């Protein structure tokens, strides 16, 4: 990150982040207004669809022949976020990977607490299989809460005996809703996006009457054995750094092929700033290489 890039990024972030202590309608309105300012390239095609009874958007790059499908879950502490808001980021990923992205509008808390998001993710995955999409040509991906949801979905697929996807890309995964990670406190002074107080306020919305340490809520407590290859990307300035580190550790101990990719000095979901940060663009390049490699290794015979 050059000094100019750092200056520009801090200028954007200093304009005011999301106040997670606000009431839910205010929080969602502020998020939607913020994300509506992010430009989308003119060759990005967005097709609203419904798969397995769940709304989603097919994102492709016009004129680009696609191979493979990325099933994508947005972030937003399970309370905010939309499929359309992910289009700038997932279109960058689609372009680099040369794949179609299906980005999902799963149900949000507090109206729909756990396990609604997992149920919706499973429904979309099953819907893709019903359409004839080969599981080996599907990859799961997500950022923040969407990263945690991707792992929860893998666990549910494994435990129900459904065919697993080729791989999963997890960007700054929110994988511990007990908030027991050391960097929740250690990185609080340098994380410009998330705060411990904000996360604590929103945890009950999603957890509801369940236990926050349930592995499908907080996958860092799960047995990850049998999962497909994982790429976990995170920035060193995040309060969720320890979520990524511990998740990678559990995967390694379960003999899951895992790559932990830590980029120094960058904020939460820094890949979303790929047009501004060299590190964001480079991370998406590495993610695309990982996903393409897994698709190629799992080509039907």
Selected catalytic residue, list 91, 143, 144, 166: 144
The per-residue DSSP string of 146-178 comes to: HHHHHHHHHHHHHHHTPPP-SEEEEES----TT
Distance CA 215, CA 200 (A): 18
Reference 71, options 100, 39, 111; nearest CA is 100
Compute the distance between CA of residue 123 and CA of residue 145 in angstroms, rounded to an integer. Answer: 18
Whole-number mean pLDDT of the chain?
93
65 is annotated as an active-site residue: no
- Could you give the CA distance from residue 181 to residue 246 in angstroms, rounded to a whole number? 8
Would you state the pLDDT for residue 18?
A: 67
Is the pLDDT score of 5 beyond 60? no
Catalytic: which of 143, 216, 238, 279? 238
- Is 144 one of the catalytic residues? yes
Active-site residue identified among 166, 172, 218, 268: 268
Cα 32 from Cα 27, distance rounded (Å): 9
Find the helix or strand (DSSP H, E) in which 252 lies: helix 241-253
Phi and psi at 120, nearest 5°, equal -70, -40
Superfamily per CATH, domain 17-297: Alpha/Beta hydrolase fold, catalytic domain (3.40.50.1820)
Backbone torsions φ then ψ of 258, nearest 5 degrees = -140, 140
Is 111 marked active-site? no
How many contiguous H segments (helices) and E segments (strands) does the chain have? 9, 8
Please compute the mean of the pLDDT values over residues 71-75 and round it to a whole number: 98
- Residue 220 has which token pair? 């860092």
Reported as a single tens digit per residue, the pLDDT across 128-185 is 999 999 999 999 999 999 999 999 999 999 999 999 999 999 999 999 999 999 999 9
Q: Sheet containing 44-51: give its strands across.
A: 44-51, 54-61, 100-104, 69-73, 138-143, 167-171, 230-235, 258-263
pLDDT higher for 89 or 17?
89
Q: Is the pLDDT of residue 7 over 50?
A: no
What is the Cα–Cα distance from 19 to 31, expressed in whole angstroms?
10
Say what the pLDDT of residue 246 is.
98
**Residue 143, H or E segment:** strand 138-143
């Amino acid at each position: 990150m050059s000094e100019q890039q750092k200056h520009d990024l801090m200028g954007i972030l200093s304009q005011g982040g999301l106040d997670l202590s606000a009431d839910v309608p205010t929080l969602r309105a502020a998020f939607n207004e913020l994300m509506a300012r992010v430009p989308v390239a003119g060759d990005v095609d967005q097709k609203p669809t419904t798969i397995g009874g769940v709304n989603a958007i097919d994102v492709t790059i016009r004129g680009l022949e696609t191979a493979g499908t990325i099933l994508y879950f947005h972030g937003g502490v399970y309370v905010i976020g939309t499929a359309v808001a992910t289009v700038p980021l997932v279109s960058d990923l689609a372009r680099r990977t040369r794949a179609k992205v299906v980005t999902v509008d799963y149900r949000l808390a507090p109206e729909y607490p756990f396990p609604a998001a997992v149920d919706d993710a499973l429904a979309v995955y099953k819907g893709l299989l019903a359409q004839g999409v080969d599981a080996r040509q599907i990859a799961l991906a997500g950022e923040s809460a969407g990263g945690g949801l991707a792992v929860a979905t893998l666990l549910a697929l494994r435990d129900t005996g459904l065919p697993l996807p080729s791989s999963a890309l997890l960007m700054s995964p929110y994988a511990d809703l007990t908030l027991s990670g050391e960097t929740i406190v250690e990185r609080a002074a340098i994380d410009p996006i998330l705060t411990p107080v904000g996360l604590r306020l929103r945890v009950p919305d999603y957890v509801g009457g369940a236990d926050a340490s349930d592995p499908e809520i907080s996958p860092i407590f799960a047995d990850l054995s049998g999962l497909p290859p994982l790429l976990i990307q995170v920035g060193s300035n995040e309060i969720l750094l320890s979520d990524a580190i511990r998740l990678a550790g559990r995967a390694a101990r379960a003999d899951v092929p895992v790559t932990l990719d830590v980029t120094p000095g960058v904020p939460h979901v820094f890949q979303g700033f790929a047009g501004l940060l060299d590190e964001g663009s480079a991370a998406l390049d590495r993610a695309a290489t990982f996903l393409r490699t897994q698709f190629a290794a799992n080509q039907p015979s």
